[in-house]
Every structure is written in C-alpha cells, then in structure tokens.
Chain A
Amino acid sequence: MPDFFKTSSHTQDSAQGTNARKEAVMNSIRSELALVNVQELINKATEKCFAKCVPKPGTSLTSSDEACLARCLDRYMEAFTVVSRTYTARISRESSQLRGAAAEI
C-alpha cells in the first residue's frame, strides 16, 4: 500500500486534516459560485451592450462602437451596483416584518 494511504489512519493529525479539507471544500464552493456569478454578469452585459452599441454589425467593430461598448460596460456595472444596493436595502427593511413574503421573491 502506498505511503499516502497510511496518513489517514493517524488520529493525531486527523482533526487538523479534517479542518483543512473542510476549509478547502468551502473555498472551492465559494470561488466556483463567484465565478459563475461573474460569468453570467459578463454574458448579460455583452448581450445588452451589443444591442445598444452595435445596431448594424459591419465587417469589424468601429472605434465608435468600441467607445460605446466601453461606456456601456461601465454603466452596466454601475446599474448592477444601484440595483444591488436598492434590493439589499429593501430586503433587509422587509425581512423584519414580511419574512414570509420576502422568502417567496
């Protein structure tokens, strides 16, 4: 049996090992979810800004297309921040009194 299998039978470092493995699992879940969120946000921004800035696709993006895309992306992220702020404030306001209704949103 290879050496690395033996370590699991040592009880001394197993508590520490469990903790480290637990942290590792948590961290990978956190970063996985964060990655998904960013990817979906970028997809959405691409879709919205393409609609606004490239109404008639030519043989390449013009410099004014690109300037519009850059501004659009900035505004989209700003819109996300505004929506996030408003939503969070509303939910925390609401959750004290309307816990049931807020859970269904």
Chain B
Amino acid sequence: MDQLQFDDATKKELASFLEREQAHARVNDSIRNLTGMCWDKCITSTPGSRFARGEESCLSNCVERFLDTSIYIVTQVQRQQQQLLQAQGDS
C-alpha cells in the first residue's frame, strides 16, 4: 500500500507544515506547564465561582516573571561563558 507516496514539492510542503505544527505544539506545552505552575502559586483559596481578589493578576504576573527568569538565566549563563573564554584567552 503506497498511499503515502508524495511528489517532492508536496513532501516539502508537508515537512514545513509539520514543523509549524510542532512549534505550535511546543507553545501549547509551555502554556499548559505554566498554567499548572502558576495555579499552584496563585490559586490558594478553595475554587469559587470566580477568581478571588488578586488571583487573576497573580496568574499573569506569574507568566511574565517566569519569562523574565528564563531570559535572565540564559543571559547569565552566556555571560559566565564569555568570562570563562576571556580567562582562557588571558592565560
């Protein structure tokens, strides 16, 4: 059964489609993970018929600060790497 036999152009199109969908899935994974993490941090009361005071803003602060943290850590590691390279160059 050669049902999945495609010409090269179609294969290329499907490959880039798959790449886009995978990127999309990665974003969804991050959002799901963040929801779990921020839920634990921000939703401290028993769930009511609406969010308690401050819970909603806590959720969006949580997302923003997590992304800040991610950027900070990456920058920090890059800086340390640079310092290491510099030290090696000096010696």
Across the interface, do B59 and A82 meet the contact criterion of CB distance under 8 Å? yes
Measured in the bound complex, the distance between the Cα atoms of B47 and A101 in whole Å is 35
A79 at the interface (CB under 8 A from B): yes
Closest A residue by C-beta to B22: A33
Across the interface, do B59 and A90 meet the contact criterion of CB distance under 8 Å? no
Q: A18-B6, A33-B25, A101-B71 are in contact. Are A52 and B46 (CB under 8 A)?
A: yes
Across the interface, do B67 and A90 meet the contact criterion of CB distance under 8 Å? yes
Number of interface residues of A (CB under 8 A): 40
Across the interface, do A25 and B4 meet the contact criterion of CB distance under 8 Å? yes
Across the interface, do B36 and A105 meet the contact criterion of CB distance under 8 Å? no
Report the interface size class on chain B.
Answer: 35 or more
Most chain B Cβ neighbours within 10 Å, of A36, A68, A71, A105: A105
Across the interface, do B21 and A30 meet the contact criterion of CB distance under 8 Å? yes
Q: A68-B46, A86-B60 are in contact. Are A21 and B3 (CB under 8 A)?
A: yes
- Chain A at the B interface: mostly helix, strand, loop or mixed? helix
Extra inter-chain contacts (18) besides given A44-B35, A84-B35, CB under 8 Å: A18-B10, A21-B3, A40-B32, A52-B46, A53-B46, A74-B47, A74-B49, A76-B35, A78-B51, A79-B35, A79-B42, A80-B35, A82-B56, A83-B59, A86-B59, A101-B71, A101-B74, A105-B30
The contact sample of 20 A-B pairs, CB cut-off 8 A, is A8-B2, A21-B4, A29-B17, A37-B25, A40-B32, A52-B47, A53-B46, A68-B47, A74-B49, A75-B43, A76-B39, A80-B32, A80-B35, A83-B34, A83-B38, A83-B59, A86-B59, A87-B31, A87-B63, A94-B67
